[in-house]
Each structure stands twice: as C-alpha cells, then as structure tokens.
Structure 1
C-alpha cells in the first residue's frame, strides 16, 4: 500500500524535466567526396549540431566523411540503441539527389555515373524513406529528421541526360510520428555561404538553426516557423530564394530544450499564494511524464499503477507502450489484469477499445473483407480489410478511424457482403487488355471529400477534375469553410501527387486511388487526412 502511495506521489509531483528521457541522435556530415564536387561546411554543420544536442542531453552517434559502408554501419549502431518509446533525431549534411520521386543521401565514395545509370545511384546511396522506416521499426515514439542536402545536383554534368533533379531534393510523405525538415524547399538550392568572403563556419541554414536548439521552452513548430523566416531573409540579402520546407506528421509537442524551473517555480500547494510575480509552470500533458517515470522505475507495479491511472486513455501511445513493457515483465503464463477502473452508472463496455476492434473484425469478416481472427488487435490483415471496406463503400471515414466506436458502428450497420470474393485462378490479361485497364483509371469528374485536420476538425468540400494531359488533371475546389482553390494533380498508376493553390497558401499532398478508381485517400502538408469519393 505504501509503495502504491509513494508511486502516486511521484507521478503527481515530479517535474517533467527530472524524468530520464532517452533521446538518441544520428549526425552525418559529408564534405570530402571522391568523385563528385567536394563541399565546404557539411562537416562543420554536423559538429555544431552534435555539440548543441549533446548539451540538451541527447546521446549522439556522429560520423564525418563517411563512405557507404561507414554510413550503413553508423545507421545500424544508431538504430540498435533505439528502443520503443524513445525519441530519435537524424541530421544529414552533404550531397543528396532526387530520383523518381525518392530522395537519396550520398556517401563520400559515390561514383559519378554515366548517362542513365539511375539504378546504380539508387543502389549505392541511402534512400531517405528507407532510413526513416528503419528508425520507425524500432518503435521510437517520435523522429525528428533534418536534411541539409539541398545543394546543386552533383550529377548534373554527367554525359548525356542528367540524373536526378537539377538542384535540391523533392517533396516527401513523412511517416506518422515523424517531423522532417529540409534546408530548402523542393527544387531550391541551399546556400553554404552568402558571399565568397562569408566568415561563418556553418551554412546559412545551420547557423540559423543551432542557437534555437538550446532555447528553453521553444516548441518545434515555433522553432521551425522562426527558422524559415530567418533563412529566407538571409537568402534574400543576396537575391536568392531559400525557404526551408517541413513535413509534420508528429503527434504532440516537442522541445529540444525544455524550460527548467527553479524550486521556487514548482506549483505551490493548494491554498498557498506564490505572489502575482511568481513564474507559473504548466505541464501540457502529465501522461507522458508519468509514463517516463514508470519506465524509469522499471517495475511491474510501477507500470501497472500507470495503466490504472490512465485507463480511460487506452488509445494513447504511452499507454500502449506501457502495456508492451508490462507484458515483457510477466511470465508467459501470467494473465494481464484488467485496469482498475470505476464504471459510471449506466456505462457499458462499448468504449472498451479491444471490444470495439473485435466487433469491427467480426463485422469485416461478415462483409467478406477477411480481417482474420477476431482477437481485438489491429494487425496488418485487419488494416487491409478495413481499407478494402472503405474502398468498396465510400464511407465518410478514414483509415485512421479504425479502432473507434464510429468505425465499428459504420461497419456493423452495413449488412451483407461488401468486399468481392477473392479470385482463386486469375486469368492473365492480354497486353492490349492490360493497357486498356491502365488507361481506364483517371480522376476526371466530380468528387466529394472530407478532410480531417488538427483538433479533429472536419472540412467537407467538392472538386471537379478535368484531364489536361495523359496523367495530368486540373480541378476547381471549394470547401465548407468558404475557401476556393485551383488544384493540379498527377496520376502515376494509382499514386496521386497534387498541389492545391489557395489564396496565400499552397498545400501539397499525396494519395492513393482505390482499385476501382472511385475513391482515394490522401495526406497533405498541412497534416490533414483526406477521403474522397466520386460524386458522379
């Protein structure tokens, strides 16, 4: 009993900055390229970033002038240190190139290719998306990636047709839980120096970034907003356009340097007055702090006390991570106890997430969508089944709604088979039939859409697309907020890339067209998730 009381007091009053948060960084700086133009400041940039983050408690894995093997070895060292729930940071300064919509980070031993050797470059470099996927596979809670590789294309002078974009890197779709910053916008050139006699040791981007990494209480999005303006203004002094781009799929806030209050700044006990001039420290969400403390204590009792306290927030990342950590500490035969929660009068178990998922799986199976065993756990097969159901029904839901009571009710209310039966003996189509099928998919016509944005804001709208080329479409968009925009969209198979031009704001997005061509899902640079279906 006393142990439980002590743990509760720790969870309630220990300041956030006292928790041991495991934050690990990977920093790579490549200057000395052997077969493509050398750089001047990438190594210095990497060293400056390593020093700044080290002061903020990051464990940094740093490598300078790394060849391909050294880069891969360093990345492996980095990912091996990451554990579920950790915060990961990645910084790369050096040459990069965009090929076929993918961004590649180049090691120092990359060879200048002959004309058309695109696959060679892909094989000999590090794909940014693959690097982010490796980090995500560790279970890291969040990943912050900063890429300063938006320099002149090192392969531009290759004989014949050049490889990659002329300059800079391309747009990306960041995985959930990831925040990616590029030192310049898509297709822009990042400046190493403002003038030939520029005395600064670092590039324009990094010299603006480093001081902000140690600024207490500066949230990541505010940091990036200030950083972009300063870099843009510096570049404009030499009539150059450089406006850093970012892609935000992060859940929650992030601070490189948290505010560190003195003892006098801690919350005063109830009923006492701290004075009108006393600084007030607010904790945005104590759940993460409590999870960090429970993980630091490391006992099953600590983790169970955390789960009991936050039993009404089972969908949160910290809760799910605590469940996994607790499961590892139990013997295989032990059954996990149900969290000790009080049931309000008239309440039912309909809000229980596992029950919701199990009901959804049963309904998906009844609809012929093959969700597998109804075990109450969202796995790859359940996600695929829900995705099929969405494609077939054009329901006003998004893939992220899986596991909610809204999705359960929507799936259960629709009776009968929804998903078509699997074809057991497919007949290979002729070349002409395959070509006809490929060209049949398109976006021309009227569409209705729902965009789910921050704070669960939903915006409804419509757009009419007209074909302007073999794979190109132009549309006029309007939404329930009274906004109008022009939209340029390109379709590559079923992959969609688009740009919406609102007055004063440009939104870039990527999506995926359903197999029948009657709906698509997309994610935009504003963080909104979109589901669209044909309106006729």
Structure 2
C-alpha cells in the first residue's frame, strides 16, 4: 500500500515547480510494481488529512506501507512539519500557527504505526528553502531543509537531503528534466531486481551527491533506519536477454575502484563500462586513472631495478598436499577424519584446534600449504588433547560467551572487479548487542566499525574515509567465524 503526495500550488507561500510531477512519477512506478496507490495532489489541510485517513484505513496488520511526500516542509522546535497548499504565511512569532495548520511528520508516522503495518518506508522530498524564512523581519523554523528525527521501530525514513541541506529541483538553467534531482535518481532504483532497501539507499545517496557536485552544491540524502529485517521493492528476476548494467551498479563499481585507488582497479572499471564514455562517472574514473600514470611508471621503474626473488618451488599436486596435511593432523590428535584432500569444515576445525593448542605462528590461510605441512611433520605426540572424561554427572550445557564478537578477527573479502582484500578487525563490546571496532586492510585502508549482533545475525556499518559501507551476515554456530555481504558488493569471510 502506498500514499503519494505532491504539492505545487501553494496559495500564500512560494509555489513549487516539480513536486506534483515527482509524486505522479513515483505513483506510476509503484503501480507498475504492484502497489495499491493513494494519490494526493495539491491538497489543502483538510484534503490531505482525508487522504491520509483513506490510506491508513486500507492498511492491515502485517502490510508493508510506503509514503512519499513532495512539497514544502519546515522544522520548528525539533519537529518536522509537512505543509498543505492552503498554509498561510503567519505573522512574526507565529510558529504555533504553522504547527496547528500543517501535518507533523511524527504524527503521520504514528498514524501508520497504529495500523499494525509490518514495515513502513517513508520518503520526504521537502528539503527546500524555508517558505517562512522572512516573515515581518524574522524567521520561523530553520532557514533551509528539515531536521533529524527519531523513527519508530519498523520504519525506514529517507530525506532528499541531509539536515540543513537544500534539495535541488534542477542542476542549472539548462536542466529540463521533469523531476527533481533526488526523484530522478530514485525512480530507476525502485524497479531494479533484487536490490535490498539499504543497498538502494547507499546507491541513491552517492548518485544524488555526485549530481549535486557537478554544480558545486552539497546534497546527500539522509536516512533513519529502524526497520527490522530486509525490504525489497522488486525481487530478483532473470532477464530474458542481457541488459546494460544500470547506473547504480556502475556507481557502486566506481566507488569500489576509487576506494581501492590502484591503476588495476580503475582499468577494470573503465574496461567494464566501455561504451559509456559520455557519462559523468566514467569521465571522473578516466581522470583518476590518468593521474595515476606517473606514479605507476615510477613504481615500474623501481621494480625493474629491484633484484628478482628466487623462484619458490611449486607443489605440483595441492590435493596431495592436503591429504598429507590431514594425515599429519590425525597423527597429532587433531582429528580431520579420513584424508580425502578436501579442506572441509572438519579439516578446518582440526587445523584451527592445532593453531590454538600449539605455539605455531601459522594462520588459518596456511592450511594446505607446503610450509604448514612441513611444520606438522615436525610435531610429535598428542598436540590436540581430547577433553578429560569424568565419572560425575554431566554439568549444565556450556553457555556462550557474554560478548561472542569481542576480540581480534582476520577477514578475507572478494569485491567487485574480482578484487581480493585481506585484513584484521578488533571488536570491543559496547553493551547489549552492540560492538565497536577498528578495521585495517591490505589496501592500507582503516575504518571505524559499528556492529550489532542479534542471535546469529550480524549487521554493521564501516566508516572509511570518504565512503560508508553497510553490511549484513551470519555468525557460525561455534562463534569462530562469520560470513557477510555489503553495500559495495563485497562478500566477506572472517575467522579467529
């Protein structure tokens, strides 16, 4: 179910040019996606309240709700208010009048919540100039944009610009697009198959930011996430024939290539998007690549002057090495089962037990290597000792650690453009199900990270310089490893 509002024709404050068209475009797209849409165009206060009531009356417990508002809005005393078309310009000091004659965003969210809707996605494109900025010599509300909010549980709220920022209707005088900058970036993402809401918003924020920067303007959509679980506008579907990569995929790949910052990453990006040279993102990538040419040439010259390291002997049969490794682990009490040359879960657990019980300097990635096998052959006796047996009655089942993520982890990530990254992260328990961490990787990047653990489910946000990555994953039953995937397209395996 969806409610779509677009107000252009204000009677007593500046009229808008594209709010109505934005709402119509969003409504058409949602109809195509199977939503039942309640449309409200150029509504006064009574009409807007009536449309909201019609919408909430249709919602049933368990429904997914979508609300879109394009028009004037204003922040007063920490609350955001959506303005109907008949809002009158008040006299000086008339902020209470504005509050009584408009729709408080918190009230709208509460009306949706009371229906029992399972989840609600609310998009507010009202971050324009304050229509009451100068009223008889003083301002009512903030001068531009809307303020931060506390979204109720089960709700995901998106603003077209960050707190205090101005949302652009157009990029310049020659921009004849029907929709505002925010809405034109949002529309194609809504119908992209298999795009989870948080990944959609990450791409939307980058696209709007980059468009605004072309005219030296700062606009980065803000969002407030209190939604439990995932949300998709369109589930994954296989296309009948190969289709060109969408702009959001191109933007995501560009962000990955730019954050890696190597000539190889940028070359891979440019090769992948050959034929789209006239697009802004491609042009920026080309400029970055050209700027690295001198540095690359210097690195190659240095490499030519450096003596080559002697060749490392190559083990001709890695499966044979793994079989011998399994046999060696069995010999010292680290049971892998029958040696079959396959590094399955039992073999990995046995090797991890060896690392924990010995003074080895090897890591989990060394399993199956010649030097690890050589070390195992040097060991004797029972390194992995079985748990002692007692005749007493069994005690209570062991409990999980109070802070199962706390401590040091290693990770291996496979990202877009077939880039592989390794690194380390150390988590500290911050109370409840929350953890803070510090991450460093093989590309020389560092990030602060914030993680939440709910049962076996993990969700986190990594704050790299210039880019924020959101991700979700699952902790293994033994608490020794987890897998995840993130908004940059990287899949991660972490262990300790």
How does 1:122-133 map onto structure 2 within 5 Å? 122-133=99-110
Change (3 A) 1:107 1:56: same
Change (3 A) 1:506 1:450: farther
TM-score, normalised on structure 2?
Answer: 0.51
- The one-character-per-residue Cα deviations of 1:352-388 (angstroms, maximum 9, x if unpaired) are xxxxxxxxxxxxxxxxxxxxxxxxxxxxxxxxxxxxx
Change (3 A) 1:156 1:262: closer
Alignment match of 2:208 (pick from 231, 239, 252): 231
Are 1:113 and 2:87 an aligned pair? Answer: no
Structure 1 residue 451 displacement after superposition: 4.8
Alignment match of 1:219 (pick from 174, 196, 217): 196
Q: Which residue of 1 aligns with 2:151?
A: 174
Structure 1 residue 193 displacement after superposition: 0.6
The 3-state SS of whatever aligns with 1:233 is helix
Distance 1:484 1:105 in 2: 35
- Structure 1 stretches of 5 or more lacking a match? 1-23, 264-345, 349-395, 398-447, 462-480, 486-501, 508-536
Change (3 A) 1:214 1:460: closer
Runs of 4+ in structure 1 deviating by more than 6 angstroms, as ranges, are: none
Q: Which residue of 1 aligns with 2:73?
A: 96
The 3-state SS of whatever aligns with 1:54 is helix
Distance 2:19 2:449 in 1: 42
Distance 1:48 1:242 in 2: 21
Distance 2:429 2:48 in 1: 43
Are 1:86 and 2:63 an aligned pair? Answer: yes
Q: Is the 8 A contact 1:147 1:182 kept in 2?
A: yes
Q: Is the 8 A contact 2:437 2:449 kept in 1?
A: no
How does 1:517-536 map onto structure 2 within 5 Å? none
Alignment match of 1:207 (pick from 179, 184, 197): 184
Alignment match of 2:35 (pick from 53, 58, 61): 58
Q: Is the 8 A contact 2:150 2:224 kept in 1?
A: yes
Q: Which residue of 2 aligns with 1:47?
A: 24
Change (3 A) 1:53 1:458: same
Change (3 A) 1:483 1:144: closer
Structure 1 residue 195 displacement after superposition: 1.1
The 3-state SS of whatever aligns with 2:88 is coil
Q: Which residue of 2 aligns with 1:10?
A: none
- The one-character-per-residue Cα deviations of 1:311-332 (angstroms, maximum 9, x if unpaired) are xxxxxxxxxxxxxxxxxxxxxx
Distance 1:186 1:180 in 2: 13
Whichever of the two has the greater Rg, that structure is 2
Q: Is the 8 A contact 2:436 2:448 kept in 1?
A: no
RMSD: 3.1
- Structure 2 stretches of 5 or more lacking a match? 241-393, 397-401, 404-427, 439-445, 451-462, 469-496
Q: Is the 8 A contact 1:451 1:460 kept in 2?
A: no
- The one-character-per-residue Cα deviations of 1:467-497 (angstroms, maximum 9, x if unpaired) are xxxxxxxxxxxxxx99699xxxxxxxxxxxx
How does 1:412-451 map onto structure 2 within 5 Å? 450-451=430-431
Are 1:69 and 2:49 an aligned pair? Answer: no
Structure 1 residue 458 displacement after superposition: 3.2
Distance 1:63 1:98 in 2: 22
Distance 1:47 1:484 in 2: 39
TM-score, normalised on structure 1?
Answer: 0.47
Structure 1 residue 460 displacement after superposition: 9.5
| Number of residue pairs the alignment of both structures matches | 268
The 3-state SS of whatever aligns with 2:122 is strand
Alignment match of 2:142 (pick from 151, 156, 165): 165
Are 1:155 and 2:132 an aligned pair? Answer: yes
Distance 2:87 2:447 in 1: 51
Q: Is the 8 A contact 1:214 1:257 kept in 2?
A: yes
Distance 1:28 1:205 in 2: 15
Distance 1:482 1:92 in 2: 35
How does 1:322-337 map onto structure 2 within 5 Å? none
- The one-character-per-residue Cα deviations of 1:207-255 (angstroms, maximum 9, x if unpaired) are 0100111111111111111111110111011111100001111111111
Alignment match of 1:240 (pick from 190, 213, 217): 217
Distance 2:62 2:449 in 1: 41
Distance 1:224 1:262 in 2: 23
Distance 2:178 2:239 in 1: 35
- The one-character-per-residue Cα deviations of 1:429-479 (angstroms, maximum 9, x if unpaired) are xxxxxxxxxxxxxxxxxxx99355xxx443499xxxxxxxxxxxxxxxxxx
Distance 1:229 1:482 in 2: 19
The 3-state SS of whatever aligns with 2:5 is strand
Change (3 A) 1:121 1:449: farther
Distance 1:232 1:482 in 2: 21
Q: Is the 8 A contact 1:451 1:459 kept in 2?
A: no
Q: Is the 8 A contact 2:197 2:230 kept in 1?
A: yes
- The one-character-per-residue Cα deviations of 1:68-119 (angstroms, maximum 9, x if unpaired) are 0010000000000001000000000000000000000000000011111011
Distance 2:239 2:9 in 1: 46
